[in-house]
Chains A and B, each alone.
Chain A
């Protein structure tokens, strides 16, 4: 029996992942205040901080009295460094919602974000060797 076959692709611009979303109908456009899926993100507006799933977050202060319950819970969780993915898991909130919360907390300087190491065009060999060494200990 021979396995099914595929054809290799070369690097290039991304193909569209899905057809464009259908245009909103006129009726929807007229609604003054469409209900949002999540409204616990505070009033930070549309701008979101540059946060990755593996950005490590550390609280810089205890939750202030003014903190929302979500913010307070998040601040308590990251008393020690914790990735955004872990925060999302423990809080049972989608990554995008945690990102909104963190954008606010970063602006208020209540948390510190430790940026992830991202893959460069040529990966850092010392980094790769460190990871290999760590895996060998498993």
Chain B
């Protein structure tokens, strides 16, 4: 990017500006494998066109992914798409879509810190892609729900069978969704919020 003339840097459109009263933000993370629909989900509920933030992969990634060839000193850039929903004049919600593969876990530092919770988006054709992600979330104590993006040619399993396969306790919601539809994506987020609310109630009682 050419910074010589900073007036030319495109900023948010006028209608995309937050009110001056915006005091604080919260975040929810959508995590899943490539092509599972994370960005589509972000886009279907976001009030702004999804944006991309990048982070540079340093030593942690070197040697992990050989697909990038021999360039052991080349920094690899990983992109994360995100969107935004203004909740009130003071409160803003951000949604981040992040890849679940182990070689991208360096992105998770800071991302999951303080996140309200996570949506694990799965494709039943590649269910095992999500196993490590769920394990990591469990280890970190990040509450999550599982949303099955229903691709037309993907196998359908009864929820009980999925629950057994994913080894998830009864209280963790598992639901089908079509992330292309705003209402469906919103339902996933609402399910997560109700789950978090139930956890908060439970925590307050014990």
Residues of A participating in the B interface, judged by any CB pair closer than 8 Å: 1-15, 17-19, 21-22, 37, 52-56, 58, 68-70, 72-73, 76-77, 80-83, 85-86, 88-96, 114-119, 121-125, 127-136, 138
Contacts and interface: CB of A to CB of B under 8 A. Distances in A.
A126 to B, nearest CB: 10
B53 A95 contact: yes
A5 B165 contact: yes
Contacts of A91: 1, 9
Interface in B138-181: 138-141, 155, 157, 161-162, 164-169
Contacts of B116: 119, 123, 128, 131
Contacts of B7: 76
A119 B56 contact: no
Contact of B197 (A21, A70, A93, A128): A128
B147 to A, nearest CB: 14
Interface in B55-78: 55-56, 59-64, 75, 77
A17 B165 CA distance: 25
Contact of B54 (A86, A94, A131): A94
Given A53-B111, A134-B91, A69 B4 contact: yes
Contacts of A125: 197, 200-201, 204
Main secondary structure of the interface of B (DSSP, over half): mixed
B18 A11 contact: no
Contacts of B38: none
Interface residues of B, number: 90
Given A9-B138, A85-B96, A134-B87, 14 more contacts: A4-B128, A11-B141, A21-B60, A56-B92, A85-B82, A86-B51, A90-B10, A93-B54, A95-B54, A116-B26, A119-B115, A127-B26, A129-B197, A134-B85
Interface string B77-97: 100001011111001111010
Interface string B121-148: 0001001100100110011110000000
Contacts of A8: 135, 138, 167-169
A21 B59 contact: yes
A70 B3 contact: yes
A48 to B, nearest CB: 11
B91 A130 contact: yes
A118 B113 CA distance: 7
B3 A73 contact: yes
A81 B20 contact: yes
Nearest to A6: B131
24 contacts: A8-B167, A10-B138, A13-B139, A17-B105, A53-B27, A53-B111, A56-B23, A58-B20, A69-B6, A80-B17, A81-B19, A90-B51, A94-B53, A96-B55, A116-B24, A117-B114, A119-B114, A119-B117, A123-B203, A125-B197, A125-B204, A131-B193, A134-B93, A135-B93
A56 B18 contact: yes
A4 to B, nearest CB: 5
B53 A3 contact: no
A124 B6 CA distance: 41
